[in-house]
């Protein structure tokens, strides 16, 4: 044994890491909470620097996001009371417009084709077409004499109000028949033709908030897509402050998107 070299003793130390699988993704939750907190901070800072009108508009949206308060006047914090007053104003405006339209010589022939309803957006005035055309020439964006006269009467009353106005064009489901011109173009062109008459009759250009062309996507007679009444122009006298409220909410959405970048 003395002749043999002593073998070295090799000691191997194994370090066993204690992985805590339960909290492996905890940092993600913490980071998400941090981003949410920062986004909330940016929104608060933006609101603090915004005007009082914008602050009230944003607050009004979150207290009544569905718009039901504009219909029932039942929202909290006084919002419903303001919108109820607007609804009362719309009722009065409806009566005034009806009286004004009775002065048109051809009103008796037009009466059945005019519908006025109060909606969450405001007072909607629908000018429904007939089979032969009534307010616009058939298949044409050019207004008839009766249609132009009615729009002028509406303009005379609308100029007395502070409310914004939206204009919509609608068609029935019958294809227009031209590859380069569809119901989309026709509905938009008719809405714009109505806009031009309203402005030429005294309504300020900045009072027009929206001009929309819906083609046959929002039928008046849903169970009969080809009914002539689906071809119509709609003039909407919007509730006061509605545009500001929508603009404020759009700004808030953009601020959210920017904070995520």
The predicted pLDDT at position 54 comes to 66
pLDDT at 177: 83
47: in domain = no
State the residue range of the domain holding 109.
Answer: 88-240
Cα–Cα separations (whole angstroms), residue 85 to 42, 71, 162: 34, 11, 14
Query: Residue 166: beta bridge partners?
Result: 210, 236
Q: Distance between alpha carbon 126 and the CA centroid of its chain, in Å? A: 18
User: Looking at the domain assignment, is residue 137 inside a domain?
Assistant: yes
160 within some domain: yes
Residue of 134, 211, 224 lying closest to 172 (CA atoms) = 224
Lowest mean pLDDT among 14-23, 83-92, 207-216: 14-23
CA angle 70, 71, 76 (to 5 degrees): 55
**Considering the domain boundaries, does residue 246 fall inside one?**
no
Q: CA-to-CA distance for 117 and 85, rounded, in angstroms? A: 16
- pLDDT band at 216, cuts 50/70/90? very high
Q: Give me the number of domains the chain comprises.
A: 1
d(CA 130, CA 176): 16
**pLDDT of res. 82:** 40
Please indicate, yes or no, if residue 9 is contained in any of the structural domains. Answer: no
Residue ranges of E strands in 171-260: 208-213, 232-238
Q: Tell me whether residue 4 is in a domain.
A: no
Which strand ranges, in their side-by-side order, compose the sheet holding 114-118?
114-118, 122-128, 232-238, 165-170, 208-213
Kindly report, residue by residue over 140-196, the tens digit of the pLDDT: 999 999 999 999 999 999 999 889 999 999 999 999 888 899 999 999 999 999 999
In sequence order, which residues have a C-beta less than 8 Å from that of residue 172 and are 6 or more positions away? 216, 219, 225, 226, 227, 228, 230, 231
Q: Place 241 in a pLDDT band, splitting at 50, 70 and 90.
A: confident
What are the tens digits of pLDDT across the range 107-147? 888 888 999 999 888 999 999 999 888 899 988 999 999 99
Please state the rounded mean pLDDT for residues 29-34: 80
Residue 21: pLDDT band (50, 70, 90) is low
- Give dist(CA 118, CA 124) in Å, integer: 6
Whether 180 maps to a domain, the answer reads: yes
∠ at Cα 247 (254, 256), nearest 5°?
20
Domain-located, residue 57: no
Report the CATH number at residue 143.
3.30.1330.60
The pTM of this model reads 0.65
Q: Give 64 or 36, the one with higher predicted confidence.
A: 36
Is residue 21 helix, strand or coil? helix
Listed residue (245, 242, 172) closest to 214, CA to CA: 172
């Amino acid at each position: 044994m003395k002749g043999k070299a002593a073998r070295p003793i090799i000691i191997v130390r194994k370090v066993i890491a204690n992985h805590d699988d339960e909290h492996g993704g905890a940092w993600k939750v913490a980071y998400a909470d941090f981003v949410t907190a920062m986004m909330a901070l940016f929104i608060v800072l933006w609101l603090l620097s915004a005007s009082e009108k914008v602050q009230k508009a944003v607050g009004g949206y979150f207290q009544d996001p569905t718009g039901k308060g504009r219909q029932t006047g039942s929202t909290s914090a006084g919002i419903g009371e303001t919108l109820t007053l607007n609804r009362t104003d719309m009722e009065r405006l409806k009566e005034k417009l009806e009286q004004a339209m009775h002065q048109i010589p051809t009103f008796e022939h037009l009466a059945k084709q005019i519908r006025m309803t109060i909606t969450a957006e405001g007072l909607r005035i629908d000018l429904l077409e007939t089979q032969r055309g009534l307010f616009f020439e058939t298949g044409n964006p050019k207004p008839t004499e009766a249609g132009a006269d009615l729009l002028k009467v509406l303009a005379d009353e609308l100029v007395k109000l502070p409310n914004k106005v939206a204009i919509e064009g609608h068609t029935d489901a019958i294809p227009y028949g031209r590859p380069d011109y569809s119901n989309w173009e026709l509905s938009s062109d008719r809405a714009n033709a109505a806009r031009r008459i309203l402005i030429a009759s005294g309504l300020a250009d900045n009072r027009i908030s929206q001009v929309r062309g819906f083609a046959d996507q929002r039928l008046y007679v849903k169970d009969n897509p080809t009914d002539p009444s689906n071809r119509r122009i709609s003039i909407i006298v919007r509730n006061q402050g509605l545009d500001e409220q929508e603009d404020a909410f759009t700004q808030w959405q953009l601020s959210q998107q920017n904070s995520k970048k």
